[in-house]
Amino acid sequence: MLGGCGLWAPPADDPLERVLAKVEAVRGIQAPRPIDARVVGQDELRAMIRSAIEAHRTPEEIHAFEEGLVTVGLWPADRPLLEEFVAVMTEELAGLYLVDQRALVVPSEVPQSFESWLAAAEARQDPEASFALAHELVHLLQHRAYPELFEDDALYFGRDDLGLAVQTAIEGDAMYFGLLAEDRPLPPVQVVEELFGREYDDPDSRLAQAPRLLRELVGFPYARGYALAHAEGGALLEDPPASTEQALHPERRNAEFTVYDLAGLLDVLPPGCARVFENGVGELQLRVWVRELSAGSGPDPLLVADGWDGDRYLALRCAERRALVWLSSWDDAAEAAEFASSVEALTDDWVRRAGLSGPLRVERAGRDVLVASPELAGRGAELRERVRRGRVSRVSELRRFADPD
C-alpha cells in the first residue's frame, strides 16, 4: 500500500521546504510547486521500478534488448534481465525520482505519510534519509532545467554507452549537490569510490549475487559521476559526457569518437538471418566483457578497453541460433590488433556462453575490427561499405547523427 502520496505544498517552516531551500540554493535552480512526495513499502517500490520500465518498452523490446546483451557476451542467458534489475534496484535504492510523474519516492519498511517519514528522520537526525531526500530533490531540479537529458529515451535505447555516460553525469551531479545541501564537508573522491566498491563485498546482498554487468552499472554512475561533478560542478550537465571513455578519463573528457549506424547491413543479411537488436558496448562495458569471458585468467580488461574509439553490434537470429556482426574502431592500428587478439583468445568461451551459431571470424583493417558469425564471415569489406559512420564528441552531435533528418 502507498503510505503517503499526493501533491503537497508545505508551509515555509516545514522540514521539506527547509531541505528544498538548501538544495535550490546550492544548485541554483528553482523547483516547481507543489511537490509530489511519496513514501512506499518495498512491494510498491518494486512495482514502481518495473512499471517505469514497462511504460516505455514492450515485452518484445525488453526481450530483444536482453538478447542483444546475451549475444555479445555481456549477459548470461539463464538470468532474466528485467527480474534481476528490478530485484537489485529494489534492494539498493534509498530514493527514486519518477520522471514521467515528476514525483519523489522514498522506501520505508513501515507504510506512512511523507510528513511522518520526514518528521521522524529529522527527529532522529538521520543523515542517510536526509541525503536521500536531497539527492532526489536535485533530480527534480535537474529535470526542470535539463528535460532533454531525462526524456530522450528513444536516443538512449540501443545506445547503452551514451545512456550510461549521461546517467553518470546526472547521478554525479545529484551526489555532489545533495551533499553540498547537507552543510557537511564534501568527502574526497577516493572515499566515495571506495564506499561504492564495498557494496560488492556483502555476500548476502542481491547486488553481490547479480551478474557482473549489473553490479558494475549500479555503482559506476554514482562513484565516477561524483568525481566528474567534484571537478566540474554545475557545468557538468551543461555538457555531459557522451561516452564512458569521456567519463573515465579526465584527459579525454571531450574526446571525439566514432559512431555507427548498421541499418545498411539489413539488406545483405543471408537467408534465414533476422535482426534482433542493435546496440553499442563502450569502454566501461568492454572491461566487463573481458572480465566475464576470461574469468580473471585472460587479457587485462583495462588494457584491452583503453584504446576504444567507438563500436556497434548487430545481434541476429540465424536458423534459430544467435549470431552477430560487431564493428569497432580503435585509437591506432596497434590497439586494434590487441583487441583482435583478445577476441580470438576469448572466442571459444564467448560462443559457448552466448550459444552462438558457430566460431567467430575476426577481421582487422587498419584501426577497424570486425567480428562476425560464420554466416557473415569473410565479407568484411562489403559490410564496412554499408555502414554509416561519423565522428562526435558531444551528446548533441550524437543526437544529430542518430536522427539526421
Higher pLDDT, 32 or 149: 149
Per-residue model confidence as pLDDT tens digits over 47-103: 999 999 999 999 999 999 999 999 999 999 999 999 999 999 999 999 999 999 999
**Are both 197 and 116 inside the same structural domain?**
yes
**Are both 278 and 339 inside the same structural domain?**
yes
Does residue 257 belong to any structural domain of this protein?
A: no
Q: How confident is the model at residue 179 (pLDDT cuts 50, 70, 90)?
A: very high
Model pTM?
Answer: 0.94
Which residue type does 290 have? Answer: V
- Domain boundary at 178, 207, 240, which? 240
Whole-angstrom distance, CA of residue 356 vs CA of residue 71: 7
User: What is the rounded average pLDDT of the residues 142-153?
Assistant: 93
Does residue 249 belong to any structural domain of this protein?
A: no
Contacts of 178 (CB under 8 A, 6+ apart): 23, 131, 134, 135, 137, 138
**Are both 229 and 273 inside the same structural domain?**
no
Does residue 225 belong to any structural domain of this protein?
A: yes
Does residue 55 belong to any structural domain of this protein?
A: yes
* ∠ Cα 103 105 106 (to 5°): 160
Q: By residue range, what is the domain housing residue 88?
A: 2-240
Q: How many domains does the chain have?
A: 2
Does residue 403 belong to any structural domain of this protein?
A: no
Provide the mean pLDDT of the chain: 92
Per-residue model confidence as pLDDT tens digits over 231-248: 999 999 999 999 999 999
Among 272, 279, 385, 259, which Cα is nearest to 326's?
279
Does residue 251 belong to any structural domain of this protein?
A: no
**Are both 109 and 189 inside the same structural domain?**
yes
Does residue 139 belong to any structural domain of this protein?
A: yes
Does residue 250 belong to any structural domain of this protein?
A: no
**Are both 267 and 236 inside the same structural domain?**
no
